[in-house]
Amino acid sequence: MNEYTINKIPSDVLKDIAQKHRYIRKQLKLSQVELSQRSGVSLGSIKRFESTGKIALEALLKLVFVLGRLEDFETVLKPKDSLIHIEKLFSNKTKI
């Protein structure tokens, strides 16, 4: 974590995701080479991701797909309010 705040910053989240990814990969007994072959993500990208947390979003999604965890990303940026409520705010059919 950042030394000036107790809240996580983006780099903290990246490292956490990378650690979780590495743990799941090892649980499934997949080597980095095998994961690279199955996912189509370069071995260098996987190594960089697991050591720094840096990876392209599409590559990350390919990796988690192979690990069987793609559904974990379906709630990312999910609206907190009902979409119906939001749609009503922008609807031309609402009466003033």
Domain annotation for the chain: domains and CATH numbers = 10-90 (1.10.260.40)
For the cut 60, the answer to whether the pLDDT of residue 10 exceeds it is yes
Q: How far apart are CA 9 and CA 42, in angstroms?
A: 27
Query: Is residue 75's pLDDT more than 90?
Result: no
pLDDT of residue 83: 63
d(CA 70, CA 14): 17
Going by pLDDT thresholds of 50, 70 and 90, the confidence category of residue 51 is very high
Task: Flag whether pLDDT at 96 surpasses 70.
Answer: no
pLDDT at 77 (0 to 100): 82
Instruction: Report residue 93 as tokens.
Output: 């059919």
More confident residue, 24 or 5: 24
- pTM of the predicted model over 0.85: no
> How large is the average pLDDT for residues 50-66?
96
Measured CA to CA, the distance from residue 30 to residue 38 in angstroms comes to: 10
